[in-house]
Amino acid sequence: MIVLGLSSGTSADGIDVAAADLRLEGDLIRLAPLGHRTTPYSPGLRQAIRNALPPAATTMEAVCRIDTGVGQEFAEAARRAHEDFTGGRAALVASHGQTLFHWAEGSRIHGTLQLGQPAWIAEATGLPVVSDLRAADVAAGGQGAPLAALLDALLLSGRAEPAAALNLGGIANVTVVRDGSPPQAFDTGPANALMDAAVRRVTGGRADVDSGGALARSGTPDADLLEHLLAEPYYRLAPPKSTGLELFGPAHLDAALQKIRVPSDADLLSTLAELTAVTVADALRPFAVAEVVASGGGVHNPVLMERLAARLRPTRLLTSESLGLDGDAKEAYLFALLGFLTWHGLAGSVPTCTGARRAPVAGRLTPGTGPLRLPAPVTTAPRRLRVEAPGS
């Protein structure tokens, strides 16, 4: 079954779309990547999303406009991928949408909101759409995150030594896989979120990222600021736990800089890269993993990767490319996988990772232009995932 997966992360940079040919054989899922691209949001929609993100106030009109705009731009990205990557052979679309709010109070999650009306995607592609992929886990008492744990646990299964998958998006999340033990996963804290906020701060909004980590490399971590940031109580919460821009957004950085002497621009970026490295390494230390497999936008920041490698040592730091999966496309492939599982009546989260009471089937279905015909539910849950070349 060929499935299109669509997502947009907390940075709201654009739409990741990937096409995957997925086959289930016993407890093994075979995933053949067929193509991936990132399409930037239109400037107006991107600004509207950022204007509505916490801690900003917003209106129901703005929410409606964003929901429609994200749905329409996801729809166009899916339509093009359907033609370019699959030759019109895809059978299903799975859309994560754009997270606008994650309602967290301490370690408890009360709700989560992803926008991007799926009816636009169904209309543009003619295909059924699985969307709203986090809510069922939250209703079952879970965090609704990190959903990446499902793919990570399948991909890293069967290793002789404990291993962890690390995603460096706006927020950093890890999945720890140890033979003989249930997987564990949680958000460790910010990855790129505070660094990107700092870049916008020091450039007056002219830039969104520290390209190549150039500014961070020219600076030195500020000990006082780093100590203040590390005092955030979130880091000491026990997993499962999840977070977002509601906590680690621009306001978090602004509040710290009001209390601590503002360092130079270079030192500020260097400090925030060190913050991510320290908090990831500290979070993984109790698990004594032998290697960490990283993916996400943060792997393109060489300073961040160098600091992570230093803080994690002697644990080996790799990227997901070593396992055959493009790190920039991993989340889009994750949602293609989740859609595939939902279509076949299989659970879309790992309770030991999200904290849910049970593992629910994820999402809701929007019919395409034809009748909705679901296959008979599969009774054997997958335990392994193998990335293969198309046609193998």
Can you tell me the mean pLDDT for 96-102?
94
- Give the residue, 63 or 108, on which the prediction is more confident: 63
Extended strands (E) in 191-276: none
pLDDT in the model for residue 241: 92
pTM for this prediction:
0.90
Between the CA atoms of 82, 83, 87 and 93, what dihedral angle is there, to the nearest 10 degrees?
10
- Give the residue, 21 or 12, on which the prediction is more confident: 21
**95-104, 115-124, 226-235, range with the lowest pLDDT:** 95-104
Q: Which two three-digit tokens encode residue 291?
A: 């290697």
- Report residue 203's pLDDT band, with 50, 70 and 90 as the boundaries: very high
pLDDT in the model for residue 144: 93
Can you tell me the mean pLDDT for 22-43?
96
pLDDT in the model for residue 188: 97
Query: How many CA atoms are closer than 13 Å to the CA of 22, on its beta-carbon side?
Result: 31
pLDDT in the model for residue 107: 77
Q: Is the dihedral of CA 245, 315, 300, 223 positive or negative?
A: positive
Q: Which two three-digit tokens encode residue 3?
A: 């499935």
Q: In this structure, what DSSP letter does residue 116 have?
A: -
pLDDT in the model for residue 207: 85
Residue 328: partners with Cβ closer than 8 Å, 6 or more residues away: 16, 36, 38, 295, 296, 297
- Please identify, in words, the CATH class of the domain defined by 2-140+329-387: alpha beta
Q: Quick one: 292 exposed, middle or buried, by C-beta within 10 A (0-12, 13-18, 19+)? A: buried
Closest CA to 271 of 188, 168, 174, 198: 198
pLDDT digits 0-9 by tens, 354-384: 999 999 999 999 999 999 999 999 999 999 9
CATH code of 150-323, in short, is 3.30.420.40
pLDDT of 79 over the 90 cut: yes
- Specify the 3-state DSSP secondary structure of 118: helix
Between the CA atoms of 197, 200, 202 and 203, what dihedral angle is there, to the nearest 10 degrees?
170
pLDDT in the model for residue 12: 83
pLDDT of 150 over the 80 cut: yes
Q: Which two three-digit tokens encode residue 290?
A: 């032998």
Cis-peptide, bond into residue 128, ω within 30° of zero: no
Same fold, 2-140+329-387 and 150-323: yes
Closest CA to 203 of 158, 145, 268: 268
Can you tell me the mean pLDDT for 77-86?
98
What are the structural domain ranges in the chain? Answer: 2-140+329-387, 150-323
